[in-house]
Structure 1
Amino acid sequence: MPQNHPDTPGTDDTTPALTRDALAQAALRILQRDGLAGLSMRKVAAEVGVKAASLYWHVRNKQELLDLLTDALLGSAEPPPRTGGWREQFHAYSWRYRRLLLDTRDAAKVVAGRLAPGPHLLGLMEDQLDRLRAAGFSDADAAMASYLLGAFVQGFVLQEQSPISAAEVLGTSRRDIADAAGDLFRALPAETFPNLVALADDLTAPDMDARFEFGLQRVPALYSPPHGSHPSGAAADAHEGSPRRNLYRDFLAECAELLDDPRVRTARDRYAEAAAGRSEVARLVGAAGESGDAAPLERAGGLLGELARIEREAMGELARLPAGSDGPVMGGRPRR
């Protein structure tokens, strides 16, 4: 590393030693003042009182600076309280994230699509994933749901922070622009644009808060634990439609049709009983995830243990059939 170079951080007694955090905070101030288009390495250097070359000891280019800025933007983020069900918690999460992005000029343009795992982002991701897994989401669904939350909020704010038209850049308010669009829609020929004419008010009247809330009320419907997912752990054991259980069920049904043995019929009926019970387990796990109440989850755990015992007994009946009988052979196929 060069020694006593005039641009080396910390060698000038009149200039505080640079840190990556100091650069991120300087970039944050410039972003608020000049917007993303006005953010440059030169301006950041001037903001902290050094020459631009000094910055390259800490970041190689503007993209690395934006990585630092992304995490700095999340520095004031506070997760919502863990009260209510997972839907209520992530509703609050989304509103807080939107307000945080709107508080800083062009913030959504910086963070959208960027994965820059700094300390603030890592803490928020860990908190979100912990809540989702506790609500009964499978590991894969928890990861996707967390991504969906960020993508929805970032995309929405990205539209809010982008000019709605050239008129806004020239000083016209978004409300006036929307009202003018409504007038234009209503003036269209109804025979050609019947829907635009009929929905002119609905298309242009709602403010951005109303539009955001509309989306939040519907995004959670796209995912719900654990129904329709591919659960893991206890939720996976509750999933009655797994390929392994379908194979056992079909095997037992075929054996019962081919063989005149009461033990096979008993095994088939017992396994069917367990399969029906797993629907109740899935319902209880889902109820726990929705309410945040641990009681349904405890009942599901007890029922799951009982159903697993029934399944083991059902398969045990087949295993005890003698290999030379007219029943299935252990490890083999039913005789026809």
Structure 2
Amino acid sequence: MANRRTPKLDRAQAVDTALRLLNDVGLEGLTLRAIARELDVQAPALYWHFKNKQELLDEMATEMFRRMVAAGPPAADAGWQELLLAGNRGLRAALLGYRDGAKVFSGSRFTGTEHAAQLEDTLRALVEAGFELRQAVRATSTAYFFTLGFVTEEQGVEPAPGERREGYDVAERAARMADFPLAAASGADLFQDYDTGFEEGLQLLIAGIGARYGIA
């Protein structure tokens, strides 16, 4: 009888499994060994594709980006403000699709070139609107850093939809900080209704970009 051979494990299969497992165990619990167990293979099979966890995270971030851009580009006639709004709204939605999604994305190096194509389109739109290239770079990177930081903090409080970490009860916080009335009242805006907070913050940032460079 011929020996049965285990199907060859490919890189895409490993990344897809890692992204699914991320929602169950979070970034700290996501190890190459845990992914190997999920795939029912030995850990060395994964080390063939990824030398270490950071290489895996780079590929996971790249796949997250691929899935994000697969939703389609903004309207062709969108202005620079609409491009930044749509791009960062899409980024936040993508990051929130995974437990610790922002932490996976932060500091990762994309392994493909899909991000270059999107960046090229965005920078071109800003340059055509009147930005110098360095200004366009500063505008897009600042918006990106805002979104990444916002979601990192958001997921620190609400790691997954419907889940909230202990220690972030707004009423309890207000009572504890009663001697500092403004700081106490700020909790309602800091730790609740993240959709509104993100939208207002992003629009403030984009308005500031326009004012700083004198471009409507």
| TM-score of the superposed pair, with normalisation by structure 1 | 0.54
Q: Cα deviations across residues 270-311 of structure 1 (Å, max 9, x unaligned)? A: xxxxxxxxxxxxxxxx4xxx4xxxxxxxxxxxxxxxxxxxxx
1:155 matched to 2:141? The reply is: no
User: Please, what is the CA RMSD of the aligned residues?
Assistant: 2.6
Cα displacement (A) at 1:24: 1.3
Q: Distance between the aligned counterparts of 1:179 and 1:225, measured in 2?
A: 37
Q: Of residues 76, 82, 96 in structure 2, which corresponds to 1:82?
A: 76
The amino acid that maps onto 2:188 is T
Q: Of residues 107, 110, 115 in structure 1, which corresponds to 2:101?
A: 107
- Counterpart contact for 1:24–1:68, Cα < 8 Å: yes
Q: Cα deviations across residues 197-218 of structure 1 (Å, max 9, x unaligned)? A: 6xx1x54255211211221121
Cα 1:48/1:126, change in 2 over 3 Å: farther
Cα displacement (A) at 1:148: 1.5
Tell me which moved more, 66-75 or 43-52.
43-52
Cα 1:122/1:226, change in 2 over 3 Å: same
Cα displacement (A) at 1:194: 5.7
Any residues of structure 2 matched to 1:1-336 within 5 Å, and which?
14-77=5-68, 78=71, 79-163=73-157, 168-170=164-166, 174=168, 177-185=169-177, 187-188=178-179, 193=180, 195-196=182-183, 200=185, 202-205=186-189, 207-224=193-210, 227=213, 286=215, 290=216
Cα 1:148/1:227, change in 2 over 3 Å: closer
Equivalence for 1:332: none
Q: Distance between the aligned counterparts of 2:182 and 2:213, measured in 1?
A: 36
Identity among equivalent positions (%) equals 35
- Counterpart contact for 2:131–2:213, Cα < 8 Å: no
Aligned with 1:27: secondary structure? Answer: helix
Q: Where in structure 2 are there 5+ consecutive unaligned residues?
A: 159-163
Q: Identify which of structures 1 and 2 has the higher relative contact order when contacts are C-alpha pairs closer than 8 Å and 6+ apart.
A: 2
Q: Distance between the aligned counterparts of 1:100 and 1:130, measured in 2?
A: 24
Q: Cα deviations across residues 44-76 of structure 1 (Å, max 9, x unaligned)? A: 222333211111221111110111011111122
Q: Where in structure 1 are there 5+ consecutive unaligned residues?
A: 1-11, 229-285, 291-336
Q: Cα deviations across residues 147-201 of structure 1 (Å, max 9, x unaligned)? A: 222211110000011137xxx545x7x5xx123223444x32xxxx46436xx1x
Dislocated runs of 4+, deviation >4 Å: none
Aligned with 1:35: secondary structure? Answer: helix
Tell me which moved more, 28-37 or 42-51.
42-51
Aligned with 2:74: secondary structure? Answer: coil
Aligned with 1:98: secondary structure? Answer: helix
Cα displacement (A) at 1:124: 3.0
Q: Cα deviations across residues 240-288 of structure 1 (Å, max 9, x unaligned)? A: xxxxxxxxxxxxxxxxxxxxxxxxxxxxxxxxxxxxxxxxxxxxxx4xx
- Counterpart contact for 1:163–1:169, Cα < 8 Å: yes
Q: Distance between the aligned counterparts of 2:4 and 2:74, measured in 1?
A: 44
Q: Which has the larger radius of gyration?
A: 1
Q: Distance between the aligned counterparts of 2:109 and 2:62, measured in 1?
A: 9
